[in-house]
Amino acid sequence: MRKLFLSAIHLVGGGSLSQAQDVVNQWFVYGPDGGHTLKIATLPASSAGTYDHLHLLTTINFNDVASNNLSLDLVFGNRNGFTYSYTARGGPFYSLVKIAAYQNADTSVDIYMILGNNYVEGSYTIVEAEDEDVYSSPADTGAATPPGTLVFDSSNPTYPPTTYTGFNGSIGIGTTSPGADLAALPSPPSSTTPILEVNGVIALMQGKGGSVIFPDGTSQSTAWNGTTLGGDYAEAVDVLGDKKGYESGDVIVIDPTAPGRFVKSDKAYSKLVAGVYSTKPRLVGRRTTAERPNREAEVPMAMMGIVPTKVCTENGSVAPGDLLVSAKTAGYAMKGTDRKRLTGAVIGKALASMKSGSGVIEVLVSLQ
């Protein structure tokens, strides 16, 4: 049995146009009188239908509140196993007002509108049906749970809509509770299939908070284009003690007492030297394989590039091109002159002079 609810209109010059006719429309309004279960259509057993396609438009409401109106545009099929897809728009999802599908032992599927024991209303329009049985006057079985196995429930997050748009304008893809203006979740939740594929341009607008937030909670607002970025490359690292005890330009070494942690240098020619506390890193790397329980203790440690660095003259004045190593003065670099001790201790090359005392100069950081 095939019901398309269509008629043909012949056009001048040949061809035809299909026009909807005899479309099934129903509207139900109930109070708190025990609940109602209305069977509105049946999909034939799997593979029994030649075409098998049910298109249903539904509006449901809970407690007669305008903001609780929810519109569902659903498509069901059962040709080679039960399938569904739907979009939703409007208010929240309620278990007291929903569309549900139950599969019978012979694999046929019954579609129900279920209205709970409250002030509820629902309307539906069968837009198109192919091979399905559509009931223009659906039987009401009260609050009884329909027979068969539940295979779809519009109020259950296990069956998320393809897209959902709330009254506040938020759009959910695979979710009915978008936590942002646009939220996308895999469907089903366990799926590893990419949830977003873009064949075009995505623009993050400057001045509008455009940034990328990563799973560890950090964000990045400047993109890497491979050629035009200036500044240095840094890695976010954990440091020993209070982060407030560190400042930009500090020479940082590996903490030998704790793997994965770093500390301010305080020995000359340290072979544990790792980098310099970056003043303004252009790109900050993130360790994704290690746990980061305390991101507040992290500092950006530059390991490559031109970096303002704290330098002292405890081993003589510094000139451009001098190799720099860690000094005894905590957090400072000095000129390296003992060639036997340079290997593995070089921070980089000085790009400016320091004749006496201490201060900050630019250094071409290149660990050696």
Q: What CA–CA distance (Å, rounded) separates 54 from 288?
A: 47
pLDDT digits (tens, 9 = 90+) for 149-196: 999 999 888 888 888 787 677 787 777 777 777 877 776 666 677 777
Query: Which residues have a Cβ under 8 Å from the Cβ of 22 and sit 6 or more positions away?
Result: 5
| pLDDT surpasses 70 at 272 | yes
Mean pLDDT of the chain, nearest integer: 80
pLDDT digits (tens, 9 = 90+) for 89-105: 887 888 888 899 999 99
Query: Which residues have a Cβ under 8 Å from the Cβ of 225 and sit 6 or more positions away?
Result: none
Ordered by where they begin, the domains of the chain are 6-156 (2.60.40.1680), 233-366 (2.40.300.10)
- What DSSP designation does 11 have? P
DSSP letters, 227-242, are SS--S-EEEEEEESS-
Q: How confident is the model at residue 17 (pLDDT cuts 50, 70, 90)?
A: very low
Give me the pLDDT at residue 254, please: 92
| pLDDT surpasses 70 at 119 | yes
Q: How confident is the model at residue 2 (pLDDT cuts 50, 70, 90)?
A: very low
Q: What CA–CA distance (Å, rounded) separates 356 from 46?
A: 88
Give me the pLDDT at residue 344, please: 92
Q: What CA–CA distance (Å, rounded) separates 153 from 111?
A: 10
Q: What CA–CA distance (Å, rounded) separates 250 from 299?
A: 11
Give me the pLDDT at residue 125, please: 85
Cβ neighbours, 10 Å, residue 226: 6
Choose among 59, 113, 119: nearest CA to 90.
59
| pLDDT surpasses 70 at 306 | yes
Q: What CA–CA distance (Å, rounded) separates 215 from 201?
A: 23
| pLDDT surpasses 60 at 330 | yes
Q: How confident is the model at residue 363 (pLDDT cuts 50, 70, 90)?
A: very high
Q: Judge if the upstream peptide bond of residue 300 is cis by omega within 30 degrees of 0.
A: no
